[in-house]
Structure 1
Amino acid sequence: MFSSSNPNKKKSKKSLFKRVMAWLHLWLGLASGIIVVIVSLTGCIYVFESEIKDFIEDWRFVKPQEQAFLLPSQLITIADKTMKGKHATSVTFGGKEDAAIVGYFTEKKEGKDREGKAEHKKGEGKGRNQKDVAKSDNEKGKEREKGKGKGKEKGKEEKSKRRRGGIFTSVYMNPYTGEVLNIKSVSRSESPDFFRFILNGHRALWLPYDIGRPIVGVAVLIFVFLLISGIVLWWPTKWIKSIRDKSFKIKLSASFKRLNYDLHNVLGFYSMIFLLFISITGLVWSFGWWSKSLYWVTSGGKPLTENRESPKSDTTIVKAFNITTVDKVLLNLSKQNPQAAGILVTVPDKPADAIGAFVYKQKHTFYNMDRYSFDQQTLKEISIKTPFSGKYIEANIPDKIRRMNYDIHVGSVLGLTGKFLAFFASLISASLPITGFMIWWGKQKFGKKSPAKPKVATKEIPVSKLKNRAEKELTA
C-alpha cells in the first residue's frame, strides 16, 4: 500500500542475522546517540582532571624543605581554628612537594518540610483509642520483621543520598609550617566547580542523580550492544585486498560521503576494544546487578561482598579519643611504606568509629592502594571482608580486578599513556553517533523529487515527403 515492489530490484546478499543487526544498530544508535555524545565528551575532559588541576592550581604544591612534616594533630588544630566550629574528618600527606590536605564533610541539612512531616508523625497517635493503637502496634511488629532487610537497604540509600548532597571542604596547608594555602569546597549539587559540573553531566546528564544515572546506564548498555553489532556489520565478507582496504583504511581523498563512512566504520573498529572496557567498567556505577554480575564472572561464580559499613572500634573501653592517636597511625604507616606517594588518615567522630587509613603507592592511581582500619583505642587492625580492604598485593584476582575498575575506566591503570588512549577512544566514541547519523541521513530522500522520465527524441519528416505519401495513399 505504502511502497511499490520493484521486480528488478536485486535481493540483498546479507544474511537475515546481519539485516536484523543492521536494523537494531541503526535505530538503537539513533535513540541513544545524543546521550553517548554527552557522556563521551565529558569523559574526555574528566580523564585529565588531576593533571589539569596540578597545572593551574599552584597551591597544591610547596617548596620542599630539609625538615620533617608537622604531625596530623598539629595541622588539624590549625585547620579547625580556620574552619570555626567544624571538625576535621581526614588528613592527607603527599610527597615532599605536595601540600597537606585537611578534609571536612558537612551533610546536607534537612528541609523544613521534612521536619514538619516528622512532627506530624509524632503526634499521629494522640487522637486514637487504645485498641487501635494496640492493633497498629501489632501490625507494625509484623511489618518490622518483614522489612528488616529493606530497612537496612533504605538506610544505606538515605546515607548515600545525604553524602551526595553534602559539602566536601579541603584545606590545603604547607606540611612544614602549617600555613593555610587555600580552602576549596565542592558540592555535587550546589555550586559545583568545573570538574564537578563535568562529572555531574557524565554520570547523570545534569539531572537529579536518581533520574539521570539510570538514563545514562541504559544508554551505555545500548552502546555496548552497538559496539558488538558494529563489529558484526564491519566484518568483511571476503578477505580480499580491496575489501580489506575498505575495512582497515580511511580514504582521505574520497568524497565526503565515503570519508564519513570510513570515519564511522574504520575508527569504530580500532576503538572498539578500548570502548568496551570503558563501558563495562562504567556500568558498575550505574547498576548494582551489573556490578555483582561482573564480579561473579571474574571470580568464577563467587558473590560480591558489599560491606559498605565502616568497621567499629571496641566501645567497652571508655576513654576519650586523643587526636594524637592519628599521629601514631600515620607515623607507623610512614615507616612501613617509605616509598608511598601519599597517606590519608580519617579522624573518628564517634566512640565506635574506627580510624581508617589509605596508603597510595602511585600519584593519581588508586587500584594498588592499601586500606586499613584501626581501633581508635587500642590501634589494633580491624579486618573487614570487602574487595577494597587490606593490602593490594594480598588480594585475590577478582578483588584486584574490582579495585582496578576506576583506573581501567579512565585509563590510569596504564599511566599517562592509558589516559591518552582513553581520551582518544572517548573522542571517537563521541563522533560515532554523529557520523552514523550522517550515513543514515544521506540515504534518505526527504523532499527529493523523483527523477523525470527521459524524453524520446522523434525524427522530423520533411513536408514534401508527407505530401507524396498522402497522394500515393489516395491513388491506391
Structure 2
Amino acid sequence: MKKVFFRIHQILGLAIGLLISLICLTGAILVFEDECRELASPQLYFVSDPPVQARLEPSEVVERINRTLEDDAVARITVPSDTTRNYVVQLQRGDKSLYVNPYTATVAGQRGKRDGFFGDVMRLHRWLLDGSRTWGKAIVGYGVLLFIFILISGIVIWVPKSVKNLKQHFQIKTKASRQRMWYDSHRSLGIYLAIPLLILCITGLNWSFPWWRSGLYGLFGTQFNSSKSGKTEEKKELVSISYLAWQEVFRRLEAQHPSYRQITLENGEASVAEQFTWGNPRASEKYRFDQRTGEITEHTPYTEQPRQQKVRGWIYAVHVGSWGGWFIKSITFLVALLGATLPLTGYYIYWVKRKQRKKKKQGS
C-alpha cells in the first residue's frame, strides 16, 4: 500500500512541485502585507506629528473632502480610535481609498486594494497574473487540490513500521551525509507542516471553486451568498447622502463602545469593530440609523449576525493567520515559507536517487 502512495506522492510532486513552491512563497509574503505596507509608507497611514488639539469631526472631514471632488462624493469613512492614524475614506466611484489627516482634512495619499508590489503578489498567488482570472485561477485551484493528495500520501508514507522508529522519523540528522540530511528534512519537516498546510489548502480552495466553497460553508450549516452583482456599471450614479447625521451617530457609538478599534459610517449604516486580540478580526457590531436625525434605529450584535458572514470572516482569518494576532501570523508565515521548500528538497532527493541508479547500471 505504501508503494502506491509513494508513487502518487512522487509523480504529483514532480509534476506540480514548482507551482506549489510559488503558491506557498507568495502566500508567505502576503501574511504580513498590512504591516509591510505601513512600514514602507508610514505617511499614508499615520500622522507624522500629531498636534495637541482634538481631531476634526468625521462630518467636517467628509464635507472638506467633498469640496475637492468634481464628479464624485464620499461613500464611507472609517475612524480609528488611535489618534495617530489617518481616517480612511472611500468614494462612491472607483475602488481607491483616501487616507486623510484627521486634524487638517488633507489627503495624505490613496491606494487601491491591489496596488503596487503586494497587488502583483496577490495576483500571482491567486491567478498566476492572469488578468481574465480563468486559466490562472483554474491552474492554482487544481494545483492546490493535488497538493492535498500529496500531503495525505506523504503522511501515509511517513508512518513508521514500528513505534521504536517513531522518534527517528521526527528528527533531522545534521551530522549525517548531505543526502541523508536533506532526506530527513523533507520527511521530518513535512510531517510537522502537513496538518497546517492542509488547513491552508482547505481554506484557500474557498476562492478557487464554487463547489468547494458550497461544501465548506455547508460543514458549518450555512451557504455562501455572494454580495456582488454580476456586472458592475462603468459609472455609478451618485447617491445623495446627509452627512450631518454621521457626527451624531459617531458620538453615540463612541460613547457606547469606549474600547472601539474603529468606527465606520456610511449611508444609513454604521459598524463598530472592537480592539482585536484573538478571534475573527472582521467581527463588528452593526447599526442602522435615521439619516436626518442620526437616531439609531437598529442594532445587530455580532453574535446575532448571519452565520454565513461569520464563516466568511473565519475562513479568511484562518487562511491568512490573522485570528491570533502576531503569534499566529508568524506561525502561518513560517508554515507557508517552509512549505515552499518541501518540493525543492523532494526534487533534490529524486535527482540524487536517479543519479545513484544510473551509477549502479553503469557499474553492472
1:65 deviation in Å? 5.0
1:97 deviation in Å? 1.6
Q: Which among 245, 248, 266 is matched to residue 325 of structure 1?
A: 245
Q: Give, in whole Å, the separation in 2 of the partners of 1:83 and 1:224.
A: 50
Instruction: Name the SS of the counterpart of 2:71 in structure 1.
Output: coil
Paired position in structure 1 for 2:283: 368
Task: Pick which of 284-293 and 72-81 moved more.
Answer: 72-81
| Counterpart contact for 1:101–1:173, Cα < 8 Å | yes
- After superposition, the Cα gap between the structure-2 partners of 1:205 and 1:233, relative to the gap in structure 1 and judged at 3 Å, is same
Q: Give, in whole Å, the separation in 1 of the partners of 2:337 and 2:54.
A: 45
1:105 deviation in Å? 5.6
Higher RCO (C-alpha under 8 Å, 6+ residues apart): 2
Q: Give, in whole Å, the separation in 2 of the partners of 1:174 and 1:211.
A: 42
1:279 deviation in Å? 1.5
Q: Give, in whole Å, the separation in 1 of the partners of 2:126 and 2:269.
A: 27
Amino acid paired to 2:27: G
Q: Give, in whole Å, the separation in 1 of the partners of 2:105 and 2:214.
A: 44
1:305 deviation in Å? 5.0
1:106 deviation in Å? 3.9
Pair member with larger Rg: 1
Aligned-pair identity (%): 35
Instruction: Name the SS of the counterpart of 2:172 in structure 1.
Output: coil
- After superposition, the Cα gap between the structure-2 partners of 1:179 and 1:363, relative to the gap in structure 1 and judged at 3 Å, is farther
Equivalent positions of 1:295-444 (< 5 A) are: 295-299=217-221, 303-306=222-225, 308=227, 321-346=241-266, 348=267, 355-362=268-275, 366-374=281-289, 376=291, 381=297, 390-395=300-305, 400-444=310-354
Task: Pick which of 323-332 and 410-419 moved more.
Answer: 323-332
Amino acid paired to 2:313: R
Confirm or deny that 1:202 pairs with 2:202.
Answer: no
Paired position in structure 2 for 1:272: 194
Amino acid paired to 1:369: S
TM-score normalised by structure 2 residue count: 0.85
Paired position in structure 2 for 1:40: 24
Instruction: Name the SS of the counterpart of 2:242 in structure 1.
Output: coil
Task: Pick which of 363-372 and 44-53 moved more.
Answer: 363-372
Q: Which among 162, 169, 177 is matched to residue 238 of structure 1?
A: 162
- After superposition, the Cα gap between the structure-2 partners of 1:199 and 1:105, relative to the gap in structure 1 and judged at 3 Å, is farther
Q: Give, in whole Å, the separation in 1 of the partners of 2:227 and 2:298.
A: 15
Deviations 1:326-373 (A, max 9, x none): 333333322222211112223x4xxxxxx3433222369723333445
1:416 deviation in Å? 0.2
User: How large is the RMSD of aligned CA atoms in angstroms?
Assistant: 2.8
| Counterpart contact for 1:105–1:169, Cα < 8 Å | no
1:55 deviation in Å? 2.1
- After superposition, the Cα gap between the structure-2 partners of 1:433 and 1:183, relative to the gap in structure 1 and judged at 3 Å, is same
1:264 deviation in Å? 1.0
Q: Give, in whole Å, the separation in 2 of the partners of 1:224 and 1:233.
A: 14
1:78 deviation in Å? 2.1
Amino acid paired to 1:339: S
1:91 deviation in Å? 0.9
Paired position in structure 2 for 1:259: 181
Q: Give, in whole Å, the separation in 2 of the partners of 1:223 and 1:196.
A: 24
Structure 2 residue runs without a partner (length 5+): 230-238
| Counterpart contact for 1:345–1:357, Cα < 8 Å | yes
Paired position in structure 2 for 1:212: 136
Q: Give, in whole Å, the separation in 2 of the partners of 1:447 and 1:244.
A: 32
Paired position in structure 2 for 1:121: none
Instruction: Name the SS of the counterpart of 1:341 in structure 2.
Output: strand
Q: Which among 50, 55, 58 is matched to residue 34 of structure 2?
A: 50
Amino acid paired to 2:259: Q
Q: Which among 220, 229, 235 is matched to residue 153 of structure 2?
A: 229
Q: Give, in whole Å, the separation in 1 of the partners of 2:111 and 2:38.
A: 17
Amino acid paired to 2:32: F
Equivalent positions of 1:102-141 (< 5 A) are: 102-104=89-91, 106-107=93-94
| Counterpart contact for 2:86–2:100, Cα < 8 Å | yes
| Counterpart contact for 1:246–1:262, Cα < 8 Å | no
Q: Give, in whole Å, the separation in 1 of the partners of 2:249 and 2:333.
A: 38
Paired position in structure 2 for 1:74: 60
